[in-house]
Amino acid sequence: MTKTWWRGAVIYQIYPRSFMDGNDDGIGDLPGILSRLDYLAALNVDALWISPFFKSPMKDFGYDVEDYCDVDPLFGTLADFDALLKAAHARGLRIIIDQVLSHTADSHPWFVESRSSRDNAKADWYVWADAQVDGTPPTNWLSVFGGSAWQWDSRRRQYYLHNFLTSQPDLNFHCLDVQRAILASVEFWLKRGVDGFRFDACNYHFHDRKLRDNKPASHADTTTVTAVNPYGMQRHRYDKSRPENLKFLRKLRTLLDRYGAASVGEVGDDDSLARMAEYTSDGDKLHQAYSFNLLTEEFSAAHIRSQVEQMEAALARHAVPGWACWSIGNHDVPRVASRWGKGTSDPQFAKLMQVLATTLRGSACLYQGDELGLPEADIPYELLQDPYGKAFWPDFKGRDGCRTPMPWLHAAPAGGFTQGAPWLPVPAEHLALAVDTQDKPRASVLNFTRRFLAWRRRHPVLIEGDIRFLKAPEPLLLYTRGHGQASVLLAFNLGARAQTLKLPKAWREVRALDGHGLTGGAITAGELVLQPWGGYIGARAQV
């Protein structure tokens, strides 16, 4: 239980609506998670990131918070959370909860009071602005979910800012009372014993007080949003990532340090890697951060190498470098088996992705179901729940395809997730990959994940070591991790055809490491041979 446990940690993300239903109402909950803690402990992950379970109208499925300090009845009670936390700690699992600080639900009592008049006690707790003389919004800022980021309110006869849904008004962090209230809500959970926080949209806290328009982007951003979303056509200088946020993050870090808790921030920006470095460096802001840079459709050895090297360079520009957290799958993007795998059903691909995600320099987030190799589910429009998908259908189908319930039992209704009607359907291809079908076979993706993560824990070079990339043609990705006298070579074939490469002289005498379970690679006479989706891990010195 060291203070730096988060460095190189493997964090397993739970989307509670879809993990396990404890009361058979069709929606997952905290008692459901509690019932599966032994499964989670056996994965050999270090922490559980639980997406929002706070009281909410659920218009964005919990990312619209109505009460920061209470559990929504859909998910259980505060007593259920306390029981989950205690049981997780008993199994050596840390709990990271997902806090949405930049905005609330429009049903939050703070906003209900704020919108009631221009002179109430919370009148400036949200971002309000007068219309322009022609009645149009105050600025040209856009919402991530489509349309203007401003919504007219007839009670105040002003616009309010919402970077996401119109039902998610942005808090005014220029107001010190707001900062104090937000920090108090964070401390509420710290006092209950949580080990850390994932801070949603953590660069959206502040806006430009002068309300200046954003300029056009020199190149449309398709990393943070999809290509069909006009949000990427602006350079987001004034609506997020404002310099005032650094001071607030320092306040937040001071509070976290007081309780020995860790943080991971979600950063979506025009230059997310530089922002991640800025927000995590110098030891006085976030502990670590991740972005969408490896959550896009782009999949190549060159792309992965470029992102990691750019991140390393950005971190190196700071006197006390920060820390990256890499994610290749989560609740906001299509599943990696479909997004990067392009429909392959080869379990070797899913295994290789688990190794790739957890051997880059930094920490790693693994999304529930990826340890089973689940592909993206195809949800028809009439069953769609996600408002983001409804707004951009059919070119963008939303996020429901990666949010379907976990399949536990292949022959049970709804895959054993619930005995009721599940909030999203469980596709047949997921039932074939259910936990009970993978629990025993040694070669399954699930057992490979368990085995590899246990093996990784025994090799500090893969947790703390530096990273260096070696020259290799597509689709080969080669890099080394070094720590002290230990040096490890990792080689991956990111393609469906076998590949052969003559290794640099310094790496021709490496010996293969065993126990990790990754197959499909060998070195013979100085040549590296990798089978389709194959990998090789070898050492040049004792590790």
Tokens of 405: 């319930």
Contact 21, 27 (CB under 8 A): yes
Q: Which of the residues 106, 200, 371, 386 is marked catalytic?
A: 200
Distance CA 195, CA 199 (A): 13
Q: Is 200 tagged catalytic?
A: yes
What separation in angstroms does the CA of 76 have from each of 32, 48, 81, 126?
Answer: 10, 18, 8, 29
First to last CA, the chain: 23
> Nearest to residue 261, comparing CAs of 205, 186, 184, 322?
186
309 is catalytic: no
Contacts 24+ apart (CB under 8 A), 345-348: 345/375, 346/496, 346/532, 346/533, 347/373, 347/443, 347/444, 347/445, 348/519, 348/520, 348/531, 348/532, 348/533, 348/534
The residue to which tokens 């905005």 are assigned? 103
Q: What is the DSSP string of 368-413?
A: TTGGGTPPPP---GGG---HHHHHHTTTS--SGGG-SPP---TTSG
Q: What H or E segment, with its residue span, contains residue 245?
A: helix 244-259
Return the SS3 of 328.
coil
Residue 304, both tokens:
């992965």
SS3 label, residue 244: helix
Structure token pair of residue 91: 């199994």
Residues 6+ apart with CB under 8 A from 29: 16, 20, 21, 22, 23, 53, 74, 75, 76, 80
User: What is the C-alpha to C-alpha distance for residues 215 and 287, in angstroms, rounded to an integer?
Assistant: 31
266, 312, 332, 370: which one is catalytic?
266
C-beta separation of 70 from 97 below 8 A:
no
Angle between helices 272-280 and 244-259 (to 10 degrees): 50
Q: Strands 363-367 and 10-14: what pairing?
A: parallel
| Length of the chain, in residues | 543
Query: Strand pairing of 262-267 and 196-199?
Result: parallel
What is the DSSP code string of 93-161?
-EEEEEE--SB--TTSHHHHHHTT-SSSTTTTSB-EEPPPTTS--SS--B-TTSSBSEEEETTTTEEEE
Residues forming the active site: 200, 266
